[in-house]
Amino acid sequence: MPVRPAPSKARPPRPRVRKKAASAYHHGDLRQALVDAALAAIAEGGLEGLNLRDLARRLGVSPAAPYRHFADKDALVRAVAADIAHRYAAVLAQAAAEAPPDPLSQFRATGVAAVRFAVRHPAHFRVVYTPGLHDHRGDADPTRQALTAAQAAGVVAPIPVDAMMLTAQCAIYGLSRLIVDGQLPGGAVTPAQADAMTRAVTDVLGLGFLPR
């Protein structure tokens, strides 16, 4: 019964009081509004809890309206996933840019940034790594190049770069996921705890990376 008051409403001139959008169409910009609403809904209830009817309801629009902008639910999800992936990549890039250029600093900075993102936006983090929504092959190429150079200079142990990259990636991703999925002792993880754990992990990795 919370669907709609009455199926036969005399239909007044349509109380569309949407915000901005000077040249507003019917809604303003339903497509972007849907993406934003989906972003919020995912943050609250996860990707599984997302449903188009609720989104439409929140935006004061009929359940069929979203289909004017997205072929189906999956298309919306993909758009939202792309949006999230973009933000995630930006966060990592900025962290790398602000850190010293040596490989170990880069590793640690991007690792800390990744884990922080996971702690702050768990549901969004999960979306970024949901199979089929995004490809992460070759994400860390800059770090790889820096690492190869450092190895040539003897600053880093002569282990295969592939192995080092893989290990670092696995450790950081594993830590993020363990936090996001609540599989670590102590239940919920505070940002400070997350930082400490990231530091511990990167320290141990660093020991393996240093020349002996």
Partner DNA sequence: CGGTGGATGTGAGCATCGATTACATCTCTA
Partner DNA sequence: TAGAGATGTAATCGATGCTCACATCCACCG
Pick the binder of a copy of itself from 9, 11, 185, 192 (CB under 8 A).
185
The piece of 17-25, 33-41, 83-91, 194-202 that touches a copy of itself (CB under 8 A) is 194-202
In whole angstroms, what is the distance from residue 99 CA to residue 107 CA?
9
- The token duo for 165 is 């990259």
Comparing CB distances to a copy of itself, the nearer of 59 and 164 is 164
> Using CB distances below 5 to 8 A depending on partner kind, what does residue 44 bind out of DNA, a copy of itself, none?
none
Smallest separation, CB 137 to a copy of itself (Å): 4
DSSP 140: T
Instruction: Report CA-CA distances (Å) from 62 to 27, 59, 121, 164.
Output: 11, 9, 29, 52
Judged by beta carbon distances under 5 to 8 A according to partner kind, the member of DNA, a copy of itself, none in contact with residue 197 is a copy of itself
By CB under 8 A, the residues from 116 to 145 that bind a copy of itself are 129-132, 135-138
User: Which CB, 30 or 140, lies closer to DNA?
Assistant: 30
Structure tokens at 129: 């790594």
First to last CA, the chain: 71
Distance CA 172, CA 185 (A): 17
**208 binding a copy of itself? (CB under 8 A):** yes
- Is residue 191 near a copy of itself by the rule CB under 8 A? no
Q: Specify the residue, 30 or 156, whose C-beta has the smaller distance to a copy of itself.
A: 156
Please give the residue ranges that form the binding site for DNA (CB under 7 A).
2-4, 7, 9, 11, 13-14, 23-27, 30, 50-54, 56, 60-65, 67-69, 71-74
**CA-based nearest residue to 27, from 1, 58, 64, 61:** 61
Judged by beta carbon distances under 5 to 8 A according to partner kind, the member of DNA, a copy of itself, none in contact with residue 54 is DNA
Q: Does 13 help bind a copy of itself (rule: CB under 8 A)?
A: no
Q: Give the Cα separation of 212 and 208 in Å (integer).
A: 9
Distance, CA of 53 to CA of 66 (rounded, Å): 9
